[in-house]
Amino acid sequence: MSSAEPNTDRRDFLRNTGRGASVLALSLGVGALMKKGVTADETVWQIDPVKCTECGKCATHCVLYPSAVKAIHAFDICGYCDYCTGYFEPDPIATDEGAENKICPTDAVVRKYIIGPYFEYTIDEPHCIGCAKCVEGCRVYGNGSLHLQIKQDICVDCDSCSINNACPSDAFVKVPASNPYLVKGQEDTWSEERWFQ
């Protein structure tokens, strides 16, 4: 009785398996590169800082923990104040860097002395949970240079963003992936008319 199956030796088996693995790796690589490429009509979720009411839902409703929403600082409109209301509690015991004086619950706002009465305030992103306490303090008592943005390098780009569904002020908008941030002080670069021209 003769067998119709071809006789496959170890070398042929390894060669064919190697070819299959190479084709699979190549197709996965091309797929990943295509996903990274941004098409002209691709959009991503972002927070309109003008509509945001600092409700705190960005910290609790994102599918990621910590949230993909982070506070950012628009340095162009910052006053580099000695007493920053996005850094200090409204009535601090003292204006030093003691935890009891800070508004941020995770110590994500970093204060750095520049010169004279001027300080620079930056966000330590890994510590930021998107709670918006610093943003609210800056808006209510200061110049509003701190605001929230979805960090696109962290966001998993849910089709139905769970924070957007919970947002009471409809601050979540779709923006072009080619220009994914809405930074205060640069409003002329993110008007809706310019996005989709």
Does any domain span residue 156?
yes
Residue 153 is predicted with a pLDDT of 95
187 vs 78, more confident: 78
pLDDT, tens only, 79-95 = 898 889 999 988 878 77
Q: What are phi and psi of 88, to 5 degrees?
A: -95, 155
Is 63 part of any domain?
yes
What does the pLDDT read at residue 137?
Answer: 93
Q: Could you tell me the residue range of the domain that residue 133 belongs to? A: 43-195
Q: What is the pLDDT of residue 132?
A: 97
Note whether residue 129 is domain-resident: yes
Q: 79, 69, 51: which is closest to 143 by C-alpha?
A: 79
**Number of domains present in the structure of the chain:** 1
Query: Which pTM does this prediction carry?
Result: 0.73
Q: Do the domain assignments include residue 77?
A: yes
The CA distance from 15 to 10, in Å, is 9
Identify whether the C-beta of residue 70 lies closer than 8 Å to the C-beta of residue 152: no
Q: How far apart are CA 189 and CA 166, in angstroms?
A: 27
The answer as to whether 93 is a domain residue is: yes
CA 38, distance to chain mean position in Å, is 17
Q: Please report where in the chains the tokens 């190479």 appear, as a residue.
A: 22
Note whether residue 2 is domain-resident.
no
* Predicted local confidence at residue 29, as pLDDT: 40
Provide the sign of the torsion angle of the four alpha carbons 100, 76, 40, 164, taken in this order: positive
Please compute the mean of the pLDDT values over residues 99-103 and round it to a whole number: 88
**Domain membership flag for residue 166:** yes
**169 within a domain of the structure (yes/no):** yes
Gap between the Cα atoms of 15 and 18, Å rounded: 5
pLDDT, tens digit, 9 for 90 and up, residues 142-173 = 889 999 999 999 999 988 899 999 999 999 99
How high is the mean pLDDT of the chain?
82
Give the model confidence (pLDDT) of 31-52 as tens digits.
433 445 556 679 999 999 999 9
